[in-house]
């Protein structure tokens, strides 16, 4: 796997490893394997800065999020939560999350797509991150759960409405009210997993292949299409959604260099040469 890098350095990460399997792809690996990649509060803020940097980086178009070791992310570091109760942290923000949510992801808006490559357990906030990723590829070993109710808590990072929106109120109720583990196969049936990798070992390779397929496209088209999909997912009315997408993207997309290049390449029966998006 190559390790290319964009022109400007990313913000420092306390609990994640960064690499670049292709020039347009950022791979983020949560790196607390001994804690099943449970995230402390500092990591939420670090990752939020990272996703903003990713959105603003002109050479990157797709990100992939996965975990080191046997887990994707087991949720919040509850040992830190308990320690904070006994002795409040010196920095107040270390008691909470940024507006973009758990891992800077669970309530992220953003401009560019992120693929979750779920290599193991995705519990609590880990599952809530998956629910707000654009595409979810799961290992056959992947498991999903919202166990908060078993601990006297509730899933507070934005996952409940997203789960209802995708799976329906009855399925979401079973998942959230029982706290039980959900298999990757159930995730397929309940519409929060796109596909299961051919094997556990090929998960990352398959996610990168999909990322490269997206990264081959016009960055303008990817950003505008994702924006339209997100508007439809997050807004109530179809007509309102369509009007918002047209207002945000249509005039800026049509006649722009990437659109002209795409049409010229099609007519000339050649591969397009995209330029950096200005959307």
pLDDT above 70 covers a percentage of the chain that reads 89
Residue 3: burial class (beta carbons within 10 Å; 0-12, 13-18, 19+): exposed
Please give the span between the terminal C-alpha atoms of the chain, in angstroms, as a whole number: 30
Farthest-apart Cα atoms in the chain, separation? 68
Catalytic residue ranges: 128, 148
Token pair in block for residue 69: 């070791």
Q: Tens digit of pLDDT for each residue in 227-243?
A: 999 988 887 665 666 67
- Residue 55 domain-assigned? yes
Rounded Cα distance between 155 and 140, Å, is: 25
Same domain, residue pair 199 and 246: no
Q: Tens digit of pLDDT for each residue in 137-146?
A: 999 999 999 9
Token pair in block for residue 115: 């693929």
Helix crossing, 257-268 with 219-234: angle to 10°? 120
Tokens 């270390």 — which residue? 94
Q: Tens digit of pLDDT for each residue in 89-125?
A: 556 555 678 999 999 999 999 999 999 999 999 999 9
Same domain, residue pair 38 and 116: yes
Same domain, residue pair 108 and 226: no
Q: 87 lies in which domain range?
A: 16-215
Same domain, residue pair 210 and 234: no
Same domain, residue pair 144 and 194: yes
Token pair in block for residue 14: 């306390």
Token pair in block for residue 225: 């299409």
Q: How many domains does the chain have?
A: 2
Same domain, residue pair 49 and 151: yes
């Amino acid at each position: 796997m190559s390790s290319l890098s964009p022109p400007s350095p990313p913000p420092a990460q306390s609990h994640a490893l960064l690499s670049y399997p292709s020039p347009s792809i950022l791979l983020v690996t949560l790196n607390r394997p001994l804690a099943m990649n449970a995230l402390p509060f500092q990591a939420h803020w670090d990752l939020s800065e990272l996703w903003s940097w990713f959105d603003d980086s002109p050479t990157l178009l797709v990100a992939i999020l996965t975990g080191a070791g046997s887990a994707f992310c087991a949720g919040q570091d509850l040992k830190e939560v308990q320690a904070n109760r006994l002795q409040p942290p010196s920095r107040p923000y270390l008691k909470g999350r940024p507006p973009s949510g758990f891992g800077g992801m669970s309530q992220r808006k953003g401009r560019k797509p992120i693929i979750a490559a779920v290599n193991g357990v995705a519990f609590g906030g880990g599952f809530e991150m998956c629910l707000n990723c654009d595409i979810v590829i799961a290992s056959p070993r992947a498991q999903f759960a919202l166990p908060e109710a078993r601990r006297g808590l509730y899933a507070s990072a934005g996952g409940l409405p997203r789960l209802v929106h995708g799976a329906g109120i009855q399925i979401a109720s079973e998942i959230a009210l029982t706290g039980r583990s959900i298999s990757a196969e159930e995730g397929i049936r309940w519409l929060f997993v796109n596909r299961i990798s051919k094997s556990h070992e090929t998960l990352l390779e398959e996610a990168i292949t999909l990322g490269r397929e997206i990264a081959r496209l016009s960055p303008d088209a990817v950003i505008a299409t994702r924006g339209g999909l997100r508007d439809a997912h997050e807004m109530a009315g179809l007509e309102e959604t369509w009007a918002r997408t047209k207002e945000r993207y249509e005039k800026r997309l049509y006649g722009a260099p990437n659109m002209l290049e795409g049409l010229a390449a099609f007519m000339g029966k050649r591969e397009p040469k995209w330029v950096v998006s200005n959307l």
